[in-house]
Amino acid sequence: MIDYLLIFAVFPMIFADLDFSLQCQKGYRVTAIRRIKNAYSILGSLSIECEPISEAATTSCDSLTKSPQCNGGIEGCTGNSWLSGFKAYLVENETQATILDPICCSSPSVTIDPISCINDQINMPKRSFSHSIVSDLTYRGVQCWHQYDAESRLVDLIWKVEICGFQSRSVNENLSSCSECKCECGIRQCGDGREPIRVVHKRANRLLDASNCSCDCQCTYKCP
C-alpha cells in the first residue's frame, strides 16, 4: 500500500441563518457521517467527511424545496444527484433532537447507477454512530423517522441512507492504489467538554515520482 504525505489546513466554520450547516464544497460528496456523544452532550456532535466526485465548475447544488417530513418516505437526492451535506435545525431544545435537511449536487460528468443502490440504517436512538462508504460509492437518498420516549417527547431522529455506485469523468482512477486518507480535525473537545461539529475534506494526490501519494486534509470545525 502506498504511503501518504499529509497536508493539513484548518479553518473556522461559517454558519448560515440556521442552527448549523454541514456542507461539502462543490465537487465533493459526503463519504462519512458521524455523531460523537460524550458525558457532556445529550445526543452528541455531528460531523461529515467529504471526498471529490466532480469538478467544482461543472457542479450545481440545491437544498430540498420543502423541509424533510421524516415519515419514512425516501427524501433527499434523486437521479444523478448525490448527497453533499445537510442543513441542520434543532427541533427539540430539551432533548437536542435535530432535523437534517439534505443538500444535493449534480454534474454532467457524474452518473449514478440506480440498479446498484442499497439502503442502510446509520444510527440507533440516542447513541453515537459512525457510517462511511468506499471510494466507488456515494450517498443519495435519505429516509428518517421520529423517535419518541414514553412521555411523547421527540428524543432523536432515525436515519437510513441510500448508497449507490457512480461513474465520474472527473475522478482520477490512477489514485485507486493510494491508501485511504486519514485526517485529524481540529481540537478534541470544546470548552464545555463537548465534541466540535466538523467538516473534513480529503483529497488524494499523486506525487511527481508517481510512486507515492499525498493527502490534502482541509478541516473546518466549530463548537456547538
Residues 172 and 213: their CA atoms lie apart, in Å, by: 13
pLDDT value of position 188: 86
Across 58-67, 79-88, 180-189, 205-214, the highest mean pLDDT is recorded for: 79-88
Q: What's the whole-number mean pLDDT along residues 25-43?
A: 94
Cβ(92)–Cβ(99) below 8 Å: no
Beta carbons within 8 Å of 160's beta carbon, 6+ residues apart? 119, 120, 121, 122, 142, 143, 144
Percent of the chain with pLDDT over 90: 61
Q: Is 150 helix (H, G, I), strand (E, B) or coil?
A: coil
- The full DSSP string for 104-143 is EEE-TTEEEEEEEEEEEE---TTS-EEEE--TTEEEEEEE
Map out the domains of the chain as residue ranges: 4-222
pLDDT value of position 186: 82
Beta carbons within 8 Å of 217's beta carbon, 6+ residues apart? 6, 7, 8, 9, 181, 183, 184, 185, 200, 201, 202
pLDDT in tens, 115-149: 999 999 999 999 999 999 998 999 999 999 999 99
* pLDDT confidence bin for 23, thresholds 50/70/90: very high
pLDDT value of position 158: 96
* pLDDT confidence bin for 5, thresholds 50/70/90: very low
pLDDT value of position 26: 96
Answer yes or no: is pLDDT of 42 > 80: yes
H or E segment to which residue 47 belongs: strand 45-52
Name the residue with higher pLDDT: 159 or 10. 159
Residues 177 and 1: their CA atoms lie apart, in Å, by: 7
Q: Is 174 helix (H, G, I), strand (E, B) or coil?
A: helix
> How many CB atoms are closer than 10 A to CB 85?
25
pLDDT in tens, 46-87: 999 999 999 999 999 988 777 788 999 989 999 999 999 999
Q: What's the whole-number mean pLDDT along residues 16-26?
A: 78
